[in-house]
């Protein structure tokens, strides 16, 4: 899972010296026809692996919140981390 974009971004932010890092993951993908002009996630992320990798980089989870993509069946989670 080290190649997931959130893990790569976490490493980059940590190496740059950022104090806060935020990203989102898809918990359940969109089912059905894609709306015109939008591309919604169609599959869920491997959430546990990504979160474990981000923590291993040197981040401590501060908060998480659930959101849905407007006009979609897709559900995501936004995460905020702080540097350990």
pTM of the model: 0.85
Mean pLDDT for the stretch of residues 9-34:
95
Total number of domains in the chain: 1
Residue 64, domain member (yes or no): yes
Q: Is 50 left (phi over 0), alpha (psi -120 to 50) or beta?
A: alpha
Does residue 74 form part of some domain?
A: yes
Helix (H) or strand (E) holding 43: none
Domain of 47 in residue numbering reads as: 5-30+40-83
- Beta strands at 20-28 and 75-83: parallel, antiparallel or unpaired: antiparallel
Residue 35 lies in a domain: no
- pLDDT of 1: 53
Q: Please tell me what DSSP assigns to residue 4.
A: S
Query: What pLDDT is attached to residue 67?
Result: 94
> Does the structure show a pLDDT above 80 at 52?
yes
Residue at 44 is within a domain: yes
User: Residue 42: pLDDT band by 50, 70, 90 thresholds?
Assistant: confident
């Amino acid at each position: 899972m080290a190649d997931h974009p959130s893990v790569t971004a976490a490493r980059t932010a940590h190496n740059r010296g950022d104090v806060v890092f935020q990203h989102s993951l898809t918990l359940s993908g969109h089912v059905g026809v894609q709306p015109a002009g939008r591309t919604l996630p169609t599959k869920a992320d491997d959430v546990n692996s990504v979160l474990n990798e981000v923590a291993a980089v040197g981040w401590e989870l501060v908060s998480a919140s659930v959101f849905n993509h407007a006009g979609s069946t897709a559900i995501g989670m936004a995460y905020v981390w702080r540097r350990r």
